[in-house]
Structure 1
Amino acid sequence: MSDLFAARSQMAISLAFHIIFAVIGVALPLMMVIAEARWLRTRDAAYLCLAKRWAKGTAILFAIGAVSGTVLSLELGLLWPHFMGLAGAAIGMPFSLEGFAFFTEAIFLGIYLYGWNRVSPAVHLLAGSIVAVSGVASAMFVCLVNGWMNTPVGFRLVNGQFIDINVWKALNNPAGLPEAIHMILAAYCAAGFATAGIHALLALRDRSNRFHRHAIAIALLVGGSAAVLQAVSGDALARVTAVNQPTKLAAMEGDFVTRSGAPLRIGGLPDVRTRQTKYAIEIPYGLSILAFHSPKSTVDGLDKTPRNEWPNVLVVHIAFQIMVGIGTLLMGVSLLAAWLARKRRLTDNYRFLQLLVLCSPLGFVALEAGWTVTEVGRQPWIIYHILRTSEAVTTMPGLTTPLVLFTCLYLVLAVIVIWLMTSHVIASPTEKEIQSVAGNEVLHAHA
């Protein structure tokens, strides 16, 4: 195994693991705050019990995410010193802002967890809201950095060095904001559907438990709304990619030939040797409309790019198809959920609850596929058209050893998380326990 492959594999494993906790840290606090707000408005004890249950889950996953995020920060410096040495001055600001958002989230999560009955309800709800906003801000700053790697701006390159760096212009790179919006919506969608699926499974065992009915309604409000909005954000991001990274778009679609009126492909297997995408269903003019909102627009194919600058076309294309396919499915389920909610049959339909259980992991599958498209589609560049990944990797030998060690660390953390969350989620609160939680809250409020 080459050191470059080991370094890339280590980053891929670290990102794939960390992103799960990152997106839950973005979405679960919002659901937690909605549940508490519903408790304050309706005094339905199930909402209070739900808010407290989700708060504990947020704390567990925040702790694990802090560990995996720290590892990622170390890996950026240890594995990619040439990248950090060149780009550090341009991306240091958003990374520092991400750290500020992280610490803000940690502080107010502590207030939220330990502030029950110690601060006023309004202050407590505000603390939870700050946790939710800080999680979004943290994700946004990371995506702005990634957007800069895809569309680097805000500097002049002289003799291989960045000069005249404008940090704010770098932050305002073309891909940054569309990526951030797409990622935040993906976080809400993945965590929302996962949460709805877990509570749907428990609701199938205990159909009369209103705790799970409320949980499903809130989770689908968050996840379903995001799934529908993803179509809009995906369209905006596709147009940014078409203009700024045409090679990535060509790989996503398995499009080897530059043409006007390019078709949109559903499925298919790109064959780099024959430069054809076999077995695909083609929608005439679809890609031209998607990329430039005009059926006759010319879309660059892979033939416009030297062969040694192509990403892994098969991997990018399949990952993109998985992401779009799952996104379309979840959008359909979301619209079905909205119709059932209007009929007041959202949690009474046995088949729909089963469907939610089946859909519960799909948001995370789409999320991992989307990051595969983003990162593999940029290759062989770590900074697009400026620094190759092979030039950024450390010269330190023996990178297989940290790859094995960190992978083992992630496996141990995964076992701990599964054990903690299973014991936390598996027991459904009874009506007596729900009322007990509310009773304690009222007693403390009067005291």
Structure 2
Amino acid sequence: MNDFIAARSQMALSLGFHIVFSCIGMVMPFFMAVSHFIWLRTGNVMYKNVTRAWSKGVAIFFATGAVSGTVLSFELGLLWPEFMKHAGPIFGMPFSLEGTAFFIEAIALGFYLYGWDRFNKWFHWGTGVLVGVSGLVSGILVVAANAWMNSPAGFDYINGQYLNIHPIQAMFNDAWFSQALHMCIAAFAATGFAVAGVHALMILRGSHVQFHGKAFRIAAVFACVAALLQPLSGDISAKDVGRRQPAKLAAMEAHFKTEKRAPLIIGGIPDEKNKTVHFAIEIPGMLSFMAHDDFNAEVTGLDQIKPEDHPPVAVTHYAFQVMVGLGMLMLAISLLYFIAVWKKKQWLQKQWLLKLFVLATPAGFLAVEAGWTVTEVGRQPWIINGIMRTADAVTPMPGIVYSFYLFTAVYLSLAVIVTFMLYRQIRMVGKLYDLPAMPVPSSH
């Protein structure tokens, strides 16, 4: 492994871990606020117990997210100094605003965690809402900075110089809305299914069914609504990528030949040497429609892109297929859940529905990881699309490979510690709140 690959791998590892913590940090406070609101309105102490249990999880993920996010910010400067030299003054505004949002989130979380029975009850609830809002804004701002790398704006690039810088235009670039929308909905779906899956598992085990049942319903509603909305945001993103980054779209679909009425490829094994895809299912004209709202529109293939500018096709295509496949799985479960809520209420008491949520526990986060792989790998070989190559931005400092090994060990250790803390928190729910055990739902 050379230093360039090591630097890319370290950045990918750091982002891969941080994105899980950040998604949960963005979304869990809203679950917590809804449960808290229901308790305030109904006086049902079970919702208070759910709220307090979730608030401990929010605190754990806030701490780990803060640490991993700080590491990422340092890595941008240490691993990619040439990139930050030129890009920092252009897209630095969303990062500085993100820092402000982070501080607001930290203060609000402190008020919320230590404000029980000390503040006015609605003010206390409002601090919890503020945690969620500021976390969501923080995530949107970071995504806006990443979107700038895919759609550079707010400057003139003349003779290798970055001139006439406009930070506001850079922040609100052509890609920020579609990426932010897709990422936020993905965060709600991923976190919702993960949380609902954990509570569904505890219900199946007969552990404090009333407590976990109420928590499951809140998380499941968030998850299923997000899963139903995600294909719409995906369509917006696909059209945006098709317009701005034809090479990325071609790699996502393993679309080697420019043609009209281009087929949508499902599955398959890309053969980059022979410019074909083996064992794929093709839907004629569908890619043209998805990219341009016209079944007969021409879609640019990799044959129109210079070979040195081709993204890694296989990785991008497989990641895209994984993301879409898992999205369809969550969509199907969501439809079943809402059918159960509206028409087949007896299904809500069946074990098979809970088992589906348990099965889907990791699905959302696997889809998020796959989606970010598409975003980052599909932009290669550019770190600033069409402006600066990733190889030109990497640090000349030797020995990056050892840094990669060290960070891998640190992040794996962090994952084990967080998993243990969450497992311990879930196991202690009954002891903390003196909850009675309840019957398990029917398996029939």
1:19-30 matches, cutoff 5 A: 19-30=19-30
Shift in Å, 1:308: 1.1
Which residue does 2:356 correspond to in 1? Answer: 355
1:236-385 matches, cutoff 5 A: 236-342=236-342, 343-345=344-346, 347-385=348-386
Which residue does 1:391 correspond to in 2? Answer: 392
Q: What is the SS of the residue equivalent to 1:429?
A: helix
CA distance in 2 between counterparts of 1:390 and 1:64 reads 30
1:2-60 CA-partner distances (Å, limit 9, x unpaired) = 11001000001001111110000011111000100111111111111000000000001
CA distance in 1 between counterparts of 2:358 and 2:44 reads 26
Runs of 4+ with >4 A deviation: none
CA distance in 2 between counterparts of 1:20 and 1:385 reads 29
Q: What is the SS of the residue equivalent to 1:268?
A: strand
Shift in Å, 1:332: 1.0
Which residue does 1:68 correspond to in 2? Answer: 68
1:144 aligns with 2:144: yes
1:222-254 CA-partner distances (Å, limit 9, x unpaired) = 111111110110000100000000000000001
CA distance in 1 between counterparts of 2:208 and 2:103 reads 40
Shift in Å, 1:160: 1.4
User: Contact between 1:49 and 1:434, CA under 8 Å: does it hold in 2?
Assistant: no
Q: What is the SS of the residue equivalent to 2:72?
A: helix
Which residue does 1:8 correspond to in 2? Answer: 8
How many aligned residue pairs are there? 435
CA distance in 2 between counterparts of 1:105 and 1:345 reads 41
1:78 aligns with 2:78: yes
CA distance in 1 between counterparts of 2:208 and 2:434 reads 15
CA distance in 2 between counterparts of 1:274 and 1:196 reads 45
User: Contact between 1:209 and 1:430, CA under 8 Å: does it hold in 2?
Assistant: no
Q: CA RMSD in A?
A: 1.3
Q: TM-score, normalised by structure 1?
A: 0.95
User: Contact between 1:91 and 1:167, CA under 8 Å: does it hold in 2?
Assistant: yes
AA partner of residue 196 (structure 1): A
1:54 aligns with 2:57: no
CA distance in 2 between counterparts of 1:321 and 1:427 reads 39
Shift in CA distance, 208/418, structure 1 to aligned 2, threshold 3 Å? closer
1:262-319 CA-partner distances (Å, limit 9, x unpaired) = 0111101110000001111001110011001111111000111011111110000000
AA partner of residue 410 (structure 1): Y
Shift in CA distance, 147/317, structure 1 to aligned 2, threshold 3 Å? same
Listed as ranges, the gaps of 5+ residues in structure 1 are 436-447
Q: What is the SS of the residue equivalent to 1:328?
A: helix
CA distance in 1 between counterparts of 2:11 and 2:431 reads 44
Which residue does 2:228 correspond to in 1? Answer: 228
Which residue does 2:106 correspond to in 1? Answer: 106
Shift in Å, 1:432: 7.0
Shift in CA distance, 337/163, structure 1 to aligned 2, threshold 3 Å? same
1:410 aligns with 2:411: yes
CA distance in 2 between counterparts of 1:389 and 1:395 reads 13
User: Contact between 2:202 and 2:208, CA under 8 Å: does it hold in 1?
Assistant: no
Q: What is the SS of the residue equivalent to 2:386?
A: coil
CA distance in 2 between counterparts of 1:230 and 1:321 reads 15
Q: What is the SS of the residue equivalent to 2:248?
A: helix
Which residue does 2:440 correspond to in 1? Answer: none
